[in-house]
Amino acid sequence: MDRLEAMSIVLTVVEAGSLSAAARRLNTPLATVSRKVSDLESHLRTKLFERTSRRLILTDSGSTYLAACKRILADVAEAERAASGEYSSPTGELIVTAPVGLGRLHLIPILTDFFKAYPEIDIRLVLLDRVVSLLEDHVDVALRIGVLPDSSLIATRLGSIRRVICASPDYLAVRGTPRTPDELVGHDCVSYGALLAPDLWTFVRGATAIAVPVHSRLNVGSAEAACDAARSGVGITAVFSYHIAEALAAGTLVTLLDDFQPPALPVSLVYASGRFLPIKLRAFLDFATPRLKARLAR
C-alpha cells in the first residue's frame, strides 16, 4: 500500500465531503477510492470515518490521523520543492490571498512590476473578503486587515487603514448631514455585512464604544457595491478608506462622523513559518513589502 497516496486520498475525502466527490476530484473510480480508504483503515486497525447514508464523519482517531497527514504531506511537498531547486532560484507558482478591494487597488498594480522583475514566477491571486486558512487552503502568503491572533504564522506590518462613514453630496444636500452618530436615526443607510451589522453600527465617543441603531435601506454583499450605492445617492454607508480614495478626490463622496471612528486597523502580510522559505516567496515579500508600505502611507 502506498501510504502517502492513501493519506492524500483521506485528505481529499475530508475536503470534498464524500467518497464520490473525492473520486470526481481525483478523477479516480469510486470503487478504487473506497477500497484504498478501507485498506488504510485495515492497516491502521481503526475506523477513520463513521459512514451514514448521507455523509462521512471523522472519528476521533480519524481527526488525529488527518492532522498528522496534513503535516506529513506538507513536509513531503516542501522537501520536493527543495530538491527541485525552488529554494535556489525564484521560479514556480505563488498562491496569494487578499481582501477584494485592497487587492484590486494596491496589490495588482504591484504585481505588474513584479512579473517584469521575476518572469519565472506565476501568481494565483485569490481575492476574498474573508480569512482563508494558509495551511488548509495551501496559500503561500496573505494580505490581511485587522489585529492578528497569536499563532505560528509570521506577520509583517505594512501600515494601517481606517473605517469611514460616507455619503454623496447630493444625498446630504437633500437629507442633511448628521453631526453625531445619534443623528443617523431617520437616515437611509447602505450596509455591507462583512463590516457592520445592517441594524446596528458601532462608533467611539471618547474612550467609550457606542452602538447606534440604523435603518439599512439596502444591504449589499461587497464594499464596492456599497460605494456605488452611496455615490448614487441611496444613502450613507461604512467602508474602509481605501475603497473611496478616488471618490473622495473626485468629490462624489464625502466622509462624515470622522471624530467618532474606531482606531485604525493594521494591515499585514502573513505567511507560515518553516525551516525553508522558498526563494519565490522571499522574492515576493522583499518586492511587495516596501511598495505596499508606500501605498498605504499615502
Rounded CA gap, 219 and 226, in Å? 8
CATH code for the structural domain at 92-161+265-296: 3.40.190.10
Q: Which three cell numbers stand for residue 139?
A: 496559500
Question: What is the Cα–Cα distance from 260 to 178, expressed in whole angstroms?
Answer: 12
- pLDDT at 88 (0 to 100): 65
Low-confidence residues of the chain: pLDDT under 50: none
Kindly write down the DSSP assignment for every residue of 59-105, as one continuous string: -HHHHHHHHHHHHHHHHHHHHHHHHTTTTTS--EEEEEEE-HHHIII
To the question of pTM greater than 0.75 for the whole model, the response is: no
Domain 163-260 has CATH 3.40.190.10: yes
CATH of domain 3-83: 1.10.10.10
C-alpha cell, 57: 464523519
Distance (Å, whole) CA 145 – CA 203:
19
Q: Where in the chain is the domain with CATH 3.40.190.10?
A: 92-161+265-296, 163-260
Q: What are phi and psi of 243, to 5 degrees?
A: -65, -30
CA-CA-CA-CA dihedral for 263, 163, 190, 103, to nearest 10: -140
The per-residue pLDDT for range 215-257, each reduced to its tens digit, is 999 999 889 999 999 999 999 999 999 899 889 999 999 999 9
Three-state DSSP state, 133: coil
What lies within 8 Å, CB to CB, of 49 at 6+ separation is 13, 37, 56, 57, 58, 59, 62
For CATH 1.10.10.10, the residue range(s) in the chain are: 3-83
Cα 213 from Cα 93, distance rounded (Å): 47
